Amino acid sequence: MPQIQLGTWLINNDDVRKTIRQAIEVGYRAFDTAKDYGNETGVGKGIWNSDVERSDIFLTTKLPTAVKDYEGTKKAIDDALDRFSLEYIDMMLIHSPQPWIEVNRTNDRHFEGNLENWRAMEEAVKAGKIRAIGVSNFLEEDVDNIVKNGSIKPAVNQIEVHIGKVPKELMDYCQQLGILIEAYSPLSHGRLLNERKVREYAKKYKVSAAQLMLAFDLQLGCVVLPKSDNISEMKDNLAVNFKISAEDMAELIKLKEKVLTLSV
């Protein structure tokens, strides 16, 4: 699985086909989407219309967050395959332990529903419909529920990680279990690209602020999912070939986003 993948959140279904094709042309071989992004059909067409073999592409998608039952999950998997017009999906994730409508509004972590998701996903792996399965936005207790009750350990936990936001305890917990961290929004939705400290470190290493932020996540052991539909930015995001010193990493880890945004 490539360490740098293209995220597709907020790229609409009409535009994403072209974005995928252009990304493949500049070297991307892995793409992340979700049912709730509303662009799976376009992502599938972009892959189909490229000159690269399907086996060379790594595709990740996610279940709709509202689905928390076994039969609904089975249908969601088959529906995703139909939208992509593909025979298999490389990685399927539970998008969130809670439906979006409940996030930050209820304490119900839907343990039983997530296990129903997982049971159907495990069956899909055995049937060859999915190659690997994982989770997203899961806290320690949510991961623990899957690990203790499932037969397949999650391959990844996709969470927000970037300079200013490093959930170290959760990351350490997952990594100790052999669960890879995928960092979404590694560029902090662009909020910190003009922040003074980020610019200072980027200047020190003679790279862009985006490249510094991606290198930071990569050195934390994360897979990164930068999103862009700009060809120049796509190329720059792939060209991360330097190392941040241990001393600078330690200082960057200490930074907090609320403090950073005050120094822009």
Q: Are residues 153 and 189 in contact, defined by beta-carbon separation less than 8 angstroms?
A: no
Distance CA 179, CA 168 (A): 14
Q: Which two tokens stand for residue 54?
A: 């399907």
Rounded Cα distance between 146 and 108, Å, is 16
Q: Which of 28, 37, 184, 201 is catalytic?
A: 37
Sign of the C-alpha dihedral computed for residues 42, 43, 48 and 50 taken in this order: positive
| Catalytic residue flag (residue 70) | no
Token pair for residue 242?
A: 């330097």
Torsion angle (degrees, nearest 10) of CA 18, 213, 236, 222: -70
Give yes or no for a contact between 98 and 138, defined as CB atoms under 8 angstroms apart.
Answer: no
What is the set of active-site residues? Answer: 37
